[in-house]
Structure 1
Amino acid sequence: MGRLVVGISELVEHWTVLDDELELVAGKRGPTRLGFALLLKHSTRYGRFLRGRAELVDEVVGYVARQVGMPASELRLYAWAGRTIEYHRAQICDHLGFWVCGVVDAEKVTQWLAAEIAVAERHPAPPAARPPGPRTARRCSGCTCAPTAKSAWTGVSLVDRPQTLTAAGLRGGSRKLEVNTSAAAGCC
């Protein structure tokens, strides 16, 4: 798979180091400054940490390196494993407001999923009614003759009645097909 080319608009929108981020980067020196800045920007862009240099496009490295005042070649000296990167990840999580999910957090998420998502999936909105085409109208009205140029349907409509969703499924309600066959010349 070839490397992607990054345009100037994406560089400016997603890879510009903001003022509050520059304050975090300012405490770093050497290759860790550039590595930290790239790790931070990648995390804010993609919501996950970099696994290594291979995930970065050269244009991005050069753009961020110019902002933090480092040569792009310094990135080859950044340690992608060990205590330093673990500390950097912890700082980035703290800066972005991420934390490790605990039991209380898991219970809150479970309650929210049960109340909001599960209810919506158990009670989906009914599909929008669409008028049937001529073939569907003929099948529904019991007519089996083939469509001809002479036969024309003038009044086909669906009438919806309210429905109730229960644990057993849809109950009540109906959909009635009303067909005016007066203009259906030649229909059996």
Structure 2
Amino acid sequence: MRREWEPEELIAAWTLLDSDWELVGNKTGATRLGFGLLLKFFEQEGRFPRHAGEVPREPVDYMAGQVKVEAALFSEYRWSGSTIEYHRAQVREALGFRESNPGG
């Protein structure tokens, strides 16, 4: 993931669309911000970030403005556990991906 973004590129890549809002709308706080960033990161990279440090600061600030959550709350988003697993499943389903089954 690149670290620097021109304003037009930031808007094109990180703006939540109508269908995205259906997924983000029922979440609050750090969860709302983290989910929005997971969704847009996955759209661009075809994978999820492994940790918060993989998501550049400019997109975090931009997304925070869209979802009306303080950017600093991104540090509270949990990178393990049932919430992020559920978020990943929601993103994959929304984008038409499914997890591979290496054993079968």
TM-score, normalised via structure 1 length: 0.51
Structure 2 Cα separation of the partners of residues 59 and 102 of structure 1: 35
Aligned to 2:87: 88
Gaps of at least 5 residues in structure 1 are: 107-188
Amino acid at match of 1:10: E
Letter in 1 for 2:62: Y
When residues 102 and 58 of structure 1 are mapped into structure 2, their CA distance, relative to the original with a 3 A threshold, is: closer
Let me know the Cα RMSD of the aligned residues: 1.7
Residue 53 of structure 2 corresponds to: 54
CA distance in 2, matches of 1:24, 1:52: 21
Correspondence for 1:78: 77
Q: How many residues align?
A: 102
Alpha-carbon distance in 2 for matches of 1:31, 1:102: 31
| CA deviation vs aligned residue, 1:5-52 (integer Å, no higher than 9, x gap) | 211121011111111101100111121000000000000011100111
Q: Quick check: 1:26 aligned with 2:25? A: yes
Cα pair distance change 1:100/1:67, threshold 3 Å: same
The structure-2 alpha-carbon separation of the partners of 1:8 and 1:27, relative to structure 1 and needing over 3 Å to count, comes to same
- The 3-state SS of whatever aligns with 1:61 is helix
Amino acid at match of 1:82: G
In the alignment, does 2:5 pair up with 1:6? yes
Mapped partners of 2:101, 2:81: distance in 1: 25
Report the Cα distance in structure 2 between the residues aligned to 1:98 and 1:63, rounded to whole angstroms: 26
1:35 matched to 2:53 = no
Stretches of 4+ aligned residues off by more than 4 angstroms: none
TM-score by length of 2: 0.91
Contact 1:6–1:57 at 8 Å: present in 2 too? no
Where in structure 2 are there 5+ consecutive unaligned residues? none
Distance across 2 between alignment mates of 1:17 and 1:79: 21
Which one has the bigger helix percentage? 2
Could you tell me how far apart the structure 1 residues matched to 2:99 and 2:38 are?
19
Deviates more, 1:3-12 or 1:25-34: 3-12
| Higher RCO (C-alpha 8 Å, min separation 6) | 2
Higher normalized strand content (fraction of residues): 1
Max Rg structure:
1
How far residue 102 of structure 1 moved from its aligned partner, in angstroms, is: 5.7
1:101 deviates by 3.9
Q: Deviations over 1:159-183 (max 9, x none)?
A: xxxxxxxxxxxxxxxxxxxxxxxxx
